Every structure is written in C-alpha cells, then in structure tokens.
Structure 1
Amino acid sequence: MSYKIVFFDLDGTLLNEEKQLPADAADAVRELKKRGVEPVIATGRAPYFFLPILESLGIDSYISLNGAYVVYQGKPLLKRPIPRADLEKLVALAGSHRHSLVFEGGEAYFTDSEAHPFVEEAIASLRVAMPGFDPGYWRNEDIYQVFLHCESHEEHLYEQLLTELKMVRWHTKALDVLPSDGSKALGIDMLLRHLKLQPEQAVAFGDGLNDKEMLKHVGLGIAMGNSHPELLPFADFVTAHVDEGGVVQGLQHAGLLP
C-alpha cells in the first residue's frame, strides 16, 4: 500500500513526557513532507495549545479537540460544537457533585471554578496557560470539548449522560467530554473525503485512549511503545517509545522512511 497521509497524535506520540518534540521525530515529519506525504496533527488538544508546534514543523492542517474542529491548510473544514442542551445537562450534574468543568471554545477556554486543585493539576500536566474564569462561557460561545474534573471512582455518576456524551479519561483527575459519536476518526474521515483519499491510504500514530477509533479507522494504525495498554488491541503495529525513536521506527515500518 502506498500511503499518502499520516496523522500524528501529540502528547505521548510526537511530544514526550516533558511535552518536548524529540529532534528525530521532528526531522522525520519534515522528511515526510519532502517525500510528498502529508503530515497532519490529530489531537485532543485545542488549537491554541499547539500552534507553536505547527509552526516549528511547517504544518497547517490538523484534527483538534478530538475531531470536533478540523482545519486543512489553514482553512476550517469542520466545526462541530457540543449541543447546548447537552452542555446544560452536564453543567447541572457536575454542579450537583461539585466537580469542576473547563469549557474549550475554538479560540479560548474557561473554567467554572477558581483555583480548583484538580483543574490546576490536570492543566499543568499539559504545560499550557491556565484557563480563564467564566462559569457562563458555555452559554454564549460554541464549545467543542469540556474537561470534567473528577476521579475514576466517580465516573459512574455521569452514566445518565452517556447517550448524548462520550467521556474519555486523559488524566487521573480529568476526562474529555465530547459528543457521543465524536472521535478523531470522525475528523479524519472528513479530511480524507475532502482530499478524495481512502482510509486505507492513511497511517495514524497514537498512544492514548482517545486514539482507539483513529487507529482502527486508517490503513495502518501504529501505537507508541509508551501507549496505554488498552490501546494496543486497536493497533496494527506497536513501535518504540516516543523517546526511543518510535516515530521514525513506525514510519520505516510503513515504508515511508528508509
């Protein structure tokens, strides 16, 4: 199979534990471009969290916010906010349990709690600026994803919302909340159709629970050596750790690098 496009997750895939981009991974992405293969970021992060990485790699196409916000060559292809009625249910239920929320819009993000330790711990792990404080931000702006801050033993409190919303844990104190059918695969499919490419012509790299659908959807799904164990059954190939040449090894396995 001749692959035409490669989707890269960020945290744990292109970025290591320190949120640094290893030099070999950066060089590999640039080499892909020289060889006529399109590299695209596919992340749960919002665009304002990774613009410097895009600039450093010379990439202007991305699947962000777990498939809800898709941009190709700098132009939006898909904006898919969470329905306001579903947000209202989430806000009410989280409030009843005193769990903090962070609302991610297309250009900014805000929390409904000031100085909450769970929010501070989770956001600090991303190495980005803390959200602003605006409990009513979700009422007037399109929200593409929400961080729900609770521990794993409390997840059952939200089971009643799982017909409308999907929740994917990314931190011991935080979950991504998105539409029930939302995923990176949805955004990838939109982009592939725009480019008139088939999923079989695509490769995807990931390491987390929000990468399951993506790895399963493409022609070659590659899990990093540092992946969450539950991701591995969805991968066609398991490469090395992000800090041990995992991106290069995976691209070599795909026949895209010598």
Structure 2
Amino acid sequence: MTERSIIFFDIDGTLLNHDKKLPSSTKEAIFKLKELGHEVAIATGRAPFMYRDLREELEIDTFVSYNGQYVVVNGKVLYTNSLNTTSLEKLTEVALRNEHPVVFMDHEDMKANVPEHHYINESIDTLKIEHFPTHDPHYYKKRDLYQTLLFCREGEEKQYEQEFQDFDFIRWHPVSVDILPKGGSKAKGIQAVVEKLGFPKENQYAFGDGLNDIAMLSSVTNSVAMGNGEEEVKRAAKYVTKSVEDDGILHGLQMVGLL
C-alpha cells in the first residue's frame, strides 16, 4: 500500500448482522485495515450513545452520527446541524393530534413526548440497545436536537412531508421515520470529515445497505453496497459485496483491493 485511505461503515445491516452481532470476520478486517495504516470511521443514522460499545470494541473515534448531523473526528466534535426548534414544536403538535408519538434526540439522550406507545417499543426493540427513551415532552426546548423519530405507519408521513418543508423524512422501520434537517445526509457529514483529514476522492470508501445510505454511496468514489441491501441501494453503489451474514465486509474489502 502506498497511500492511506479512509473507509466509512454503516452499522445496522453492514457492520452488524440482523441479530445485531458483529461477525468475527468483520472485526478482524477492521483491525487489519488499521494495521495497514488506513483510517476507519463509522457513518450511521444512530445516535452516538447507541453505539458507544461498538466504537470502543473497534477502537474507532471518528464517526458520522444521525445521518450526518453530528460529526466527530478523533474524539472531537467537528460539525453539527440541528433541527429547527420552531418547526419541530409545530410538528409535535400535529403529531399529537394524529396520535403519532415522537422521540427527541440530541447527542446524549432521547426522550419521548408520550409516557409509552407500542410503536416506540416495537421499533426501538429491533435495535437491541440498552438505551430506551424515557418521557419528557419538553426535551426539545433549550437544547440542540439532531434527529427526531416520528412513529407512524407507511404512507402516513406524507402529510408531514408536505407541511414541514425544512425537514427530511427517512423511513427506517415499518412504524418509524427519521426526521432530519432538510438536506442533511451522511454524504455531507463525510465531506466534513474528509476535508478535515485531507483524503482525496480516490482514497475514500463507504459501505452501506439502507435507504439512508444512498446519498453516501452516490457521493463516495469507492462505494460498496451490502448484498443484503435493497435494490435501490445497490444501484447507487459502484460495487456490491456479499451479505453481512456471509462475510460481506471482508469480501468487499478484498474486492476493492484494501485487503
């Protein structure tokens, strides 16, 4: 290897399999990359507190959280992009009338605007994390929020998309949608990182599988979609590797010549 590269990995369905486990081949591949002198980073829709253990296990301190809204390089906050509080308050009022709960999220915690709801339980449980939102309907006040979760069935988010133009809505679960600042994406977060660290386009790589990875895979020069990803995601990538369950990370790194 003559040049260092930077490789961004999504978490769910990419680093972690469908049981939210880290395959041994993936862990070994990550440390091999680091031994070779490459920079390894995470780019996820998750909040920082949702994958602290994973970062510690893989010894990664550069990451793009909240689909690009909270970016950390070498353990220091580099870039943030928060939700418009006035619009969020109005959206919350509409959601309450529609009996659609919301969960407010900053870099430290997440709080629900209702005491409990089965949609929240159903979707958050799939992440298999210890952290669970507690009740605080005023959590959005006097703090920066980088993402909010709206809980509704597929198609019901359309009314919010039409009414709240300064937000983007990305579905991640049959009963839950990410609410992000308009135009925010993993791609923008990654851009901030590579500009800070000085990696040229030809030395940038990204792996992902979900709809929130499309902007990232479309913008990063050497992009790899997981075999378990949706067809739309695969079309956005330069390469397609095997499934996460079938040593997809290791195979993909070998395919692009990094290992």
TM-score bucket of the superposed structures, by smaller chain: over 0.9
Report 1:92-111 matches (<5 A): 92-111=93-112
Segments of 5+ residues of structure 2 without an aligned counterpart are none
CA drift at 1:162: 5.0
Matched, 1:163 2:165: yes
CA drift at 1:91: 1.1
The answer on whether the counterparts of 1:28 and 1:248 sit within 8 Å (CA) in structure 2 is yes
- Name the structure 1 match of 2:80: 79
- Name the structure 2 match of 1:26: 27
The answer on whether the counterparts of 1:201 and 1:218 sit within 8 Å (CA) in structure 2 is no
SS of structure 2 residue aligned to 1:240:
coil
CA drift at 1:198: 2.6
For residues 19-74 of structure 1, the C-alpha deviation after alignment (integer angstroms, 9 at most, x for no partner) is: 11000001100000000111101000001000000100111110001100000111
Letter in 2 for 1:137: Y
The answer on whether the counterparts of 2:161 and 2:169 sit within 8 Å (CA) in structure 1 is no
CA drift at 1:126: 0.5
Report 1:90-239 matches (<5 A): 90-128=91-129, 129-239=131-241
CA drift at 1:212: 0.4
Segments of 5+ residues of structure 1 without an aligned counterpart are none
Structure 1 distance, partners of 2:196, 2:10, is 20
CA drift at 1:93: 2.0
User: Does 204-213 or 81-90 show the bigger shift?
Assistant: 81-90
SS of structure 2 residue aligned to 1:152:
coil
Count of residues paired in the alignment: 257
Structure 1 distance, partners of 2:162, 2:115, is 27
TM-score, normalised by the number of residues in structure 1: 0.96
| Coordinate RMSD, CA, aligned | 1.3
CA drift at 1:3: 6.1
The answer on whether the counterparts of 2:91 and 2:164 sit within 8 Å (CA) in structure 1 is no
TM-score, normalised by the number of residues in structure 2: 0.96
Letter in 1 for 2:200: Q
Query: What's the % identity of the aligned pairs?
Result: 41
SS of structure 2 residue aligned to 1:154:
coil
The answer on whether the counterparts of 1:189 and 1:199 sit within 8 Å (CA) in structure 2 is no
Structure 2 distance, partners of 1:22, 1:187, is 26
Structure 2 distance, partners of 1:186, 1:162, is 21
